[in-house]
Each structure stands twice: as C-alpha cells, then as structure tokens.
C-alpha cells in the first residue's frame, strides 16, 4: 500500500492529473491490490496467467469500456513498478484492450474420451485415427511430436517413447499397459498396410493413406471428422486431447511438477493453467451438489 500511495502522489505531482482521474486510478489500483491480497499473490509474482484471470473477473462485472480504462490504468501503474524495480516486466503490456480475459482450455470429460475411443473401426485409416487419439491422450504429446515419432522410438519393455520436443529437447513419454498392447497391434497392421503400398521402408509411426508420414494438415482434418462423429459441441483439436490428459491427471491427484515434465513445459506457470481448469470444475460441482450453494 506504500507503493500505492507513492504512485498516486507521483501522478498528482508529476503527471498533474485532475482529482476525478486520480480517484478513478486509485479505485482501479485498489481493486487489483485487494484481489492480490485475497488470492495471496505477491505483486512481484503476479504472472500473465494471473493477469488474464483477473481481467476475466473484471469482464464479468463491468462494461467493455470500463475494463479498457482499468487495463490502461494498470498498464501505467506497472510501467511505474518496472522503473522502481518492483517487477521485472509490465505484464499488462501483453494484454490487449480487446482481450476478453482468461479462457479456460477446452478439454473432454472422461466419458467423452471413452466415446471417442469407442468409435467403430473398419479399415486401416480408422485404426490409425484411433491409435493417434489413444496415444496423445495417454502420453500428453503435442500433435507435432506425435507425427515425428518413428516406430523405432518405442521402448515397449519400459512402456515409453523417446520424442523430440520444442527446442530440440528430448524427453520420454509413458503409456499404460493396455495402450502398449494396442500400439503393438497397430504396428503389425501398419507393417502389412505399408507392404501393400510398396512402402515397407517407411519408419513413421503415423502414416497417411498413401503410406507416407501423416502430414500436420491431415491430422486436423481427422479431428474435425471425429468431432462430428462424436457429436462434440465444443472445440476438439489435438490440443484438446493434450489438455484432457493434463486435466484428468491433476483431477486424480498428480503433482503439478510431474505434469509439467510430462507436457514438456519449461515454466511451471504454463502448466498452472490446468489448476484453474480443475478449480473451475470443483466450483461447478460444488454449485450443483451443495444444498446451500444457491442460497
């Protein structure tokens, strides 16, 4: 609060703002500081994810014009904090006035995952699609990582696969016993399919109908097809399955730093987005289940 008072004094003395503008700025800053206190977030640990979540709370209470003014006030305040070396970066510079705040990532429920993996299969392409969905959901791989995997990268004895992640960093991803068996069966089908296509030397794990490595563009077409087949009324992309992997692990008590390693995130703050998802689900469950929740 000392910084708050200093800043208002600075605005009045150096910027020569009117009393009404000072009052508005003061209320905007006090609202943020109260929020940080309630959430137990130190000012110098306030992240871009926290900022977007905060903007969402503003969007829920105020008009777009009012939110724009508040963002402008906070941007100016953080510029001051950077000069005072209280924070290293003005995170509100990264938030557009048009930013509608923090958006929770789309993910499938466990029942929706079961529905996806239960779609009937009648040809090799169906089997490939199934194994792609199963693999991403079981491992948390990015679609770009899954498409780069070769069959030689699998270690079935240890139920893991070596992948090349962002920045040419290598890491292992793991999968369940049942998934391991399904992958083995798929690889047998894949070998027969490639021999028929005259592509026996192809080493890619996921292959196209022509027997080449499955291209990135085709993977998104496949996801759009299955969104229609399963009747999903939400966004369904490769990232949706990755989000589902992380969310379900955290829902079942996995440590966030373990999930961070599995996802290949360099910063824990990137992984923390999923804690907002699980908290939102807890809140939703409470509102539906508790007898006093609507009181």
Q: Point out the residues that are catalytic.
A: 142, 166, 239, 242, 265, 274
Last residue of a domain, one of 214, 236, 258: 236
Together in a domain, 77 and 36: yes
Chain CA centroid to CA 70, Å: 26
> pLDDT at position 13, please?
73
CATH number at residue 16: 1.10.150.130
Mean pLDDT of 257-283: 66
CA 46, 51, 53, 56 dihedral sign is: positive
Domain that holds residue 11: 2-94
Say if residue 117 is in the same domain as residue 229: yes
Whether 51 is covered by a domain: the verdict is yes
Q: How far is it, in rounded angstroms, from Cα 250 to Cα 259? A: 8
Clarify whether residues 127 and 210 are in a common domain: yes
Say whether pLDDT at 6 is over 60.
Answer: yes
Dump pLDDT digits (tens) for 123-179: 999 999 999 999 999 888 888 889 999 999 999 999 999 887 655 678 888 888 999
Residue pair 174/159 in contact (Cβ under 8 Å)? The answer is: yes
Tell me if 160 is assigned to some domain: yes
- Same-domain status, 118 and 90: no
Maximum pairwise Cα distance, the chain: 81
Contact 173, 139 (CB under 8 A): yes
Out of 68, 94, 120, pick the residue that ends a domain: 94
In a domain, 224, yes or no: yes
| Same domain for 193 and 142 | yes
Q: Which residues of 172-198 are buried (b: 16+ CB within 10 A; e: fewer)?
A: ebebeeebbebbeebeeebeebbeebe
Q: Is the pLDDT of residue 26 over 70?
A: yes
Considering the chain, what is the average pLDDT of its residues?
82
Position 274 in a domain: no
Please give the distance of CA 40 from its chain centroid, rounded to a whole number.
23
State if pTM tops 0.75.
no
Residue 83 sits in the same domain as residue 117: no
- Is 246 inside any structural domain? no
- Under 8 Å between Cβ of 90 and 79: yes
d(CA 256, CA 267): 11
pLDDT at position 271 is 63
Specify the pairing of strand 160-164 against strand 154-155: antiparallel
At 190 the pLDDT is 97
CB 44 within 8 A of CB 86: yes
Question: Residue 286 pLDDT > 60, yes or no?
Answer: no
Report the C-alpha gap between 69 and 97 in whole angstroms: 8
- Residue 286 forms part of a structural domain: no
The answer to whether residue 247 is domain-embedded is: no
Is 100 a member of any domain? no
Last residue of a domain, one of 33, 60, 94: 94
* pLDDT of 99: 47
pLDDT tens for residues 189-234?
Answer: 999 999 999 999 999 999 999 999 998 888 888 998 999 999 998 8
Number of domains composing the chain: 2
Reported as a pLDDT band with limits 50, 70 and 90, residue 279 is low
């Amino acid at each position: 609060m000392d910084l708050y008072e200093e800043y208002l004094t600075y605005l009045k003395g150096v910027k020569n703002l009117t009393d009404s503008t000072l009052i508005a700025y003061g209320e905007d800053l006090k609202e943020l500081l109260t929020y940080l206190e309630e959430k137990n977030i130190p000012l110098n640990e306030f992240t871009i994810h926290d900022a977007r979540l905060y903007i969402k709370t503003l969007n829920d209470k105020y008009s777009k014009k009012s939110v724009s003014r508040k963002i402008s006030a906070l941007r100016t305040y953080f510029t001051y904090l950077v000069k005072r070396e209280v924070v290293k970066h003005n995170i509100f510079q990264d938030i557009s006035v048009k930013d509608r705040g923090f958006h929770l990532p789309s993910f499938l429920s466990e029942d929706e995952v079961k529905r996806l993996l239960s779609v009937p299969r009648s040809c090799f392409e169906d089997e490939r699609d199934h194994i792609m969905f199963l693999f991403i959901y079981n491992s948390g791989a990015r679609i770009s990582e899954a498409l780069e995997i070769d069959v030689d990268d699998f270690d079935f004895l240890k139920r893991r696969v070596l992948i090349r992640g962002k920045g040419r960093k290598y890491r292992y991803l793991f999968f369940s016993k049942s998934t391991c068996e399904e992958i083995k069966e798929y690889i047998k089908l894949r070998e027969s399919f490639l021999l028929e296509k005259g592509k026996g030397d192809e080493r890619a794990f996921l292959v196209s109908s022509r027997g080449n490595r499955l291209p990135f563009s085709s993977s998104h077409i496949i996801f759009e097809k299955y969104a229609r087949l399963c009747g999903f009324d939400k966004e369904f992309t490769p990232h949706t399955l990755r989000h589902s992997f992380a969310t379900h692990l955290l829902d079942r008590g996995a440590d966030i730093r373990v999930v961070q390693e599995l996802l290949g995130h360099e910063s824990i703050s990137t992984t923390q987005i999923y804690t907002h998802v699980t908290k939102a689900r807890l809140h939703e469950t409470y509102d539906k289940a508790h007898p006093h929740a609507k009181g």
